[in-house]
Structure 1
Amino acid sequence: MNTIDPAQMARNLATADTQKFQQRAQFQADKYQSQLTALGKVESALRDFRSTIQDINSSTTSIIQNKATLSDDNHFTVNANAQALSGSYQIFVEQIASAHQVKTGMPANLDSTTSVPNTGTLSFTIDGQTLDLDLSTIDSDGDGQSTISELTTAINNHPDNPGVNATLVRTSGQTHFMLASNETGVANTLSVNANTGTTWFDDAFTNLTEISAPQDAVIWLGAETTGLKLTNSSNTFSNVIDGIDITATKAQTSGDPALSMAIDTDQDATLEQVNAFIESYNKVMSTLDSYTQTGSADTQRGALANDPTLRSIESQLNNLLRDQFEGKRLSEIGISINREGKLEVDKDSFKNAQQTMGATIESMFNGEGNLLDSLEDSLKPFLQFSSGIFTSRKEALRSNIDRIDDKQVALDRKYEMAYTRYLKQFTQMNQIMTQMQQTQGLFG
Structure 2
Amino acid sequence: MAISFTGLGSGLAVSDIVDALVNSEQAPAESRLNTKEGKLTTDISAVGALKAALEKVQTSMEALGDSDNYQKRTASGNDDFISISSDKDAQPGSYNVKVDALAQAHKLSSPAFAADEAIGAGVITIGSGANSFSTVLSATNTLEDLRDQINNGPFTGSDSNDSVVATIVTSDTGQHLVLTSKETGEDNAITITVQDDDGNNTDTGGLSRLAYDVSDADPVNHTTNLTQVNAAQNAQITIDGTLTVSSNTNKFTNVIDGVDITAKKLHATDDDLSDISVTENNNNIQTGLNSFITSYNELLE
TM range, smaller chain: 0.5 to 0.7
Q: How does 1:32-431 map to 2 (within 5 A)?
A: 33-34=44-45, 37-38=48-49, 41-42=52-53, 45=56, 49=60, 57=68, 63-69=71-77, 73-103=79-109, 109=115, 123-132=125-134, 152-153=151-152, 163-166=162-165, 168=167, 178-193=178-193, 208-223=226-241, 227-253=242-268, 256=270, 259=273, 261-265=275-279, 270-271=282-283, 273-282=284-293, 284-289=295-300
Deviations 1:160-209, CA, capped at 9 Å, x for gaps: 75751526577889997654333321112123456697998885576544
Percentage identity across paired residues of the two chains: 21
| Aligned residues of 2:97 and 2:276 also touching (Cα < 8 A) | no
The structure that is helix-richer by fraction is: 1
Q: Secondary structure at the match of 1:239?
A: strand
Matched to 2:235, the amino acid is A
Deviations 1:30-86, CA, capped at 9 Å, x for gaps: 3675367437734874697589679983xxx7544333358xx33333434444444
Distance 2:129 2:151 in 1: 21
Q: Secondary structure at the match of 2:183?
A: coil
Matched to 1:96, the amino acid is L
Give the aligned partner of residue 327 of structure 1: none
Distance 2:133 2:65 in 1: 41
- Taking only aligned residues, the RMSD between alpha carbons, in angstroms, comes to 5.4
Cα distance change of structure 1 residues 195 and 263 upon mapping to structure 2, 3 Å threshold: same
Distance 1:74 1:168 in 2: 32
Distance 2:61 2:108 in 1: 50
Distance 1:51 1:169 in 2: 60
| Aligned residues of 1:90 and 1:258 also touching (Cα < 8 A) | no
| Aligned residues of 1:124 and 1:131 also touching (Cα < 8 A) | yes
Distance 2:280 2:48 in 1: 41
The structure that is strand-richer by fraction is: 2
Matched to 1:164, the amino acid is S
Q: Secondary structure at the match of 2:15?
A: coil
Give the aligned partner of residue 5 of structure 2: none
Residue 95 (structure 1) shift: 1.4
Residue 100 (structure 1) shift: 1.7
Distance 1:5 1:108 in 2: 108
Matched to 1:186, the amino acid is E
Task: Give the length in aligned residue pairs.
Answer: 260
Distance 1:205 1:188 in 2: 17
Cα distance change of structure 1 residues 257 and 2 upon mapping to structure 2, 3 Å threshold: closer
Distance 2:126 2:256 in 1: 36
| Aligned residues of 1:101 and 1:213 also touching (Cα < 8 A) | yes
Please, which runs of 5 or more residues in structure 1 have no aligned partner?
111-115, 136-145, 294-444
Cα distance change of structure 1 residues 86 and 197 upon mapping to structure 2, 3 Å threshold: same
What TM-score, normalized to structure 2? 0.57
Deviations 1:126-172, CA, capped at 9 Å, x for gaps: 3334345699xxxxxxxxxx9966863569xxx97575152657788
What TM-score, normalized to structure 1? 0.42
Distance 2:99 2:236 in 1: 6
Matched to 2:76, the amino acid is A
Distance 2:170 2:25 in 1: 87
Cα distance change of structure 1 residues 282 and 214 upon mapping to structure 2, 3 Å threshold: farther
Cα distance change of structure 1 residues 167 and 3 upon mapping to structure 2, 3 Å threshold: farther
